[in-house]
């Protein structure tokens, strides 16, 4: 089996798909790319710039000028302390703004101490844009075409950047980053595999408390606590009992579980910055004939995907195969806008598995294939698997059976 | 004591400070305001538009044209299912995009069923901007000056909006929303109180496993699991032992706790959309003289805040009082960019408690007062309290003692 290279720098893994980034930059005629939103900065630089993950507005950028040697991470001075633990592969770190730290000159210097001494000794720019412009100038990017992720930079900063570099043509390129991220590196696949395993464990933990009278909220607490115990942050927790399962984004309520109730999970977390997303159904006792029939239909839709997934398959064909299977197997009127999507540092990487998609599957895409059916007044039935596209077919990242679980 | 009115609509609480919003709109000469980022849409409309909370790009807007009756919530069709549970006070809900749901005509209609039937019967716009423009036209906003939160709308959508309404002058107004949010309603204060109590409980839970050999990661798992068990999402979890406590944003590692180690928490979560943020220190056994002295100094800085906080106090004076106290009480070289900030639906609402601040404290601000001291090679000492500014002074939202906890 072909092994995609894993680039390591000072012993730490680079998750970025550098060959694909280089190829897409060449194709687009870009002299440099700039990541600005939390997901893309982390993806491109290997650095988790906390403040931009938890708030709107804090600015952090990763600049890539065609090679790892011509790359720079621009962060607020208050985030320098995260550098020693995270070892971002981008070693040219520029800071902006004031943040006070002191140094204990009597202590025995260790790696962290030396790193902080070195970083705080660098000069600080007044603003994020000033630091970015300085880095671009240092790498010779004062004209030409630059792909910039428009999702994280504020409009004010974008204007300042264009004013400071009037000869640079900036092209909005969040979608370029999505396109790079669509094909996973081996390091990413390992993290996604772990994220999937942990999330499955959380579903098991949640189901372990299923009994008459337990509420959606109580069950979700078990789910989230399991994630917490496994270093995973809750992101999407849709959990509904009975006819509440028909609400697509159902958030846990005080609705108590009753005999015969369907339980629908559509859930995911974030583990080492990467997302999980999956769906399973269970029932407390016999759920009834319609639930069994419809669940079986949506399950077969997902299972059909394993038969057809291979590099080169048109995504629109995958859509048709999955939807057609659900229709044939029990829900003749089944209709969907999409039956899945890629997953990575974002919950919806390309491809979007839709009728109108014009991509083809490629090796090392990691995709979620899902077949939700929501019937208000009745129930929501859904199976969703995380699947890696391999050289010859498909590899499931799942271990939980797809069948409805009768409790 | 003056009671700020709590506006209720169909039995559900409105958290928005409508009188302040109206006053600031009048002052700024705005005919309408538009919230676009997750925090502001939730704040203004009462609706948690899931997709914009978990990803970059999904668009949701809340339009307010000077009164609750002239307000509209614009969301993707895929989010309509969240309406019945959340009962947003904005009852004019506009949708865009396609999302498939079916209806079981044989079921017994309940409130959720009727709500979904009604919402899905409305016509869907092709895009978020088209829906927003239609709502603006319906409320007569085709010219004049409109305050728009620039943090959530994509630049592409902003351009489309300006093109569709060329006679409207749009003014970037994320800061106006921050300014409205700075003064909390009673409903918000109750949620913040609960968020504080839960986070304190999580610190207690984390400390309950403190013993030689336990790692930062193991302790943080207990912290996060407690949050999960109490319906609170982890947001900021900085936890460091020994000299790692000097790293301001320290993320939990495999560093094991040793006798004499300081433990620094700077932590918070999100409960019912509202943030908590607090800091405490503990030590396993005797932490040593310097830690005791410095911790006492930063503690006294926060306690000083309670003596001086009252409506009308200049924020810059609060800064001077707190910093001066820490300096006098044991850290003569103490320096900080700020010693706290407001807290609400965002982790950093106004005021920023800095030397350069030009605001004054007002009744029903909820602020975090914090006095972190980071000395690389030694330790990080920090106390942070959540405090409500009352009519006559200050009310702590905390119950944990501020003193260093010796375990």
Q: Kindly provide the ipTM of the predicted complex, given to two decimals.
A: 0.95
Whether residues A55 and B234 touch (CB distance < 8 A) is answered with: no
Whether residues B346 and A55 touch (CB distance < 8 A) is answered with: yes
pLDDT value at position A7? 41
pLDDT by 10s per residue, chain A, length 407: 344 434 444 445 689 999 999 999 999 999 999 999 999 999 999 999 999 999 999 999 999 999 999 999 999 999 999 999 999 999 899 999 999 999 999 999 899 999 999 999 999 999 999 999 999 999 999 999 999 999 999 999 999 999 999 999 999 999 999 999 999 999 999 999 999 999 999 999 999 999 999 999 999 999 999 999 999 999 999 999 999 999 999 999 999 999 999 999 999 999 999 999 999 999 999 999 999 999 999 999 999 999 999 999 999 999 999 999 999 999 999 999 999 999 999 999 999 999 999 999 999 999 999 999 999 999 999 999 999 999 999 999 999 999 999 99
Chain A hits for B247, CB-CB cut-off 8 Å, are 81-82, 84-85, 112
B208-262 per-position pLDDT tens digit = 999 999 999 999 999 999 999 999 999 999 999 999 999 999 999 999 999 999 9
Whether residues B374 and A105 touch (CB distance < 8 A) is answered with: no
Whether residues B246 and A221 touch (CB distance < 8 A) is answered with: no
Q: Searching chain A, which residue's CA lies closest to the CA of residue B110?
A: A377
Cα dihedral sign for A151, B250, A123, A110?
A: negative
B381-392 per-position pLDDT tens digit = 999 999 999 999
pLDDT value at position A12? 53
Tokens of B229: 């068990």
Nearest to A375 among B102, B109, B248 (CB): B102
CA distance B2 to chain A (A): 33
CA distance A151 to chain B (A): 7
Chain B hits for A52, CB-CB cut-off 8 Å, are none
Whether residues A57 and B103 touch (CB distance < 8 A) is answered with: no
Whether residues A55 and B99 touch (CB distance < 8 A) is answered with: no
Chain B hits for A104, CB-CB cut-off 8 Å, are 375-378
pLDDT value at position A1? 37
**At B10, is the pLDDT very low, low, confident or very high (cuts 50, 70, 90)?**
very low
Q: Residue B220, SS3? A: helix
Chain A hits for B79, CB-CB cut-off 8 Å, are 249
Nearest to A228 among B154, B225, B376 (CB): B225
Tokens of B249: 């944003």
Nearest to A85 among B98, B227, B251 (CB): B251
Chain B hits for A373, CB-CB cut-off 8 Å, are 102
Q: Residue B209, SS3? A: coil
Q: Searching chain A, which residue's CA lies closest to the CA of residue B105?
A: A377
Q: Searching chain A, which residue's CA lies closest to the CA of residue B37?
A: A56
- Looking at the predicted structure, is the pLDDT value of residue B4 above 80? no
CA distance B54 to chain A (A): 7
Whether residues B81 and A250 touch (CB distance < 8 A) is answered with: yes
Chain B hits for A294, CB-CB cut-off 8 Å, are none
Supply the angle between the helices A174-181 and A38-45 in degrees, to the nearest 10: 50
Chain B hits for A262, CB-CB cut-off 8 Å, are none
């Amino acid at each position: 089996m072909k092994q995609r290279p894993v680039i390591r720098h000072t012993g730490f893994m680079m998750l970025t798909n550098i060959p694909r980034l280089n190829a897409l930059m060449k194709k687009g005629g870009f002299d440099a790319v700039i990541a600005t939103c939390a997901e893309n900065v982390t993806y491109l630089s290997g650095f988790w710039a906390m403040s931009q993950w938890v708030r709107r507005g804090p600015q952090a950028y990763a600049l890539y000028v065609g090679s790892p040697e011509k790359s720079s991470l621009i962060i607020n001075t208050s985030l320098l302390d995260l550098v020693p633990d995270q070892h971002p592969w981008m070693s040219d770190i520029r800071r902006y703004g004031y943040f006070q730290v002191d140094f204990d000159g009597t202590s025995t210097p260790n790696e962290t101490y030396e790193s902080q001494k070195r970083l705080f000794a660098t000069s600080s720019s007044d603003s994020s844009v000033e630091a970015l412009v300085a880095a671009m100038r240092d790498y010779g990017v004062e004209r030409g075409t630059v792909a910039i992720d428009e999702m994280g930079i504020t409009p004010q900063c974008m204007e300042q950047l264009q004013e400071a570099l009037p000869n640079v043509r900036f092209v909005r390129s969040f979608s370029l980053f999505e396109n790079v991220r669509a094909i996973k590196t081996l390091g990413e696949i390992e993290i996604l595999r772990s994220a999937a395993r942990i999330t499955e464990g959380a579903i098991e933990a949640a189901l372990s408390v299923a009994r008459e009278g337990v509420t959606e909220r109580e069950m979700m607490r078990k789910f989230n606590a399991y994630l917490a115990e496994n270093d995973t942050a809750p992101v999407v927790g849709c959990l509904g009992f009975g006819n509440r399962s028909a609400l697509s984004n159902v958030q846990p309520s005080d609705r108590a579980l009753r005999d015969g109730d369907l339980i629908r999970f559509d859930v995911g977390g974030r583990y080492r910055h990467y997302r999980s997303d999956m769906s399973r159904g269970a029932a407390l006792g016999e759920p009834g004939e319609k639930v069994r029939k419809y669940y079986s239909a949506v399950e077969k839709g997902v299972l059909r995907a394993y038969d057809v997934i291979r590099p080169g398959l048109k995504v629109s064909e995958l859509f048709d195969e999955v939807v057609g299977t659900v229709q044939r197997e029990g829900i003749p009127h089944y209709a969907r806008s999409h039956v899945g999507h890629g997953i990575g540092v974002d919950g919806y990487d390309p491809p979007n598995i839709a009728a109108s998609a014009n991509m083809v599957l490629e090796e090392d895409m990691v995709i979620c294939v899902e077949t939700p059916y929501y019937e208000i007044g009745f129930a929501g039935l859904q199976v969703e698997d995380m699947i890696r596209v391999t050289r010859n077919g498909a590899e499931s990242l799942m271990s939980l059976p797809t069948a409805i679980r009768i409790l």
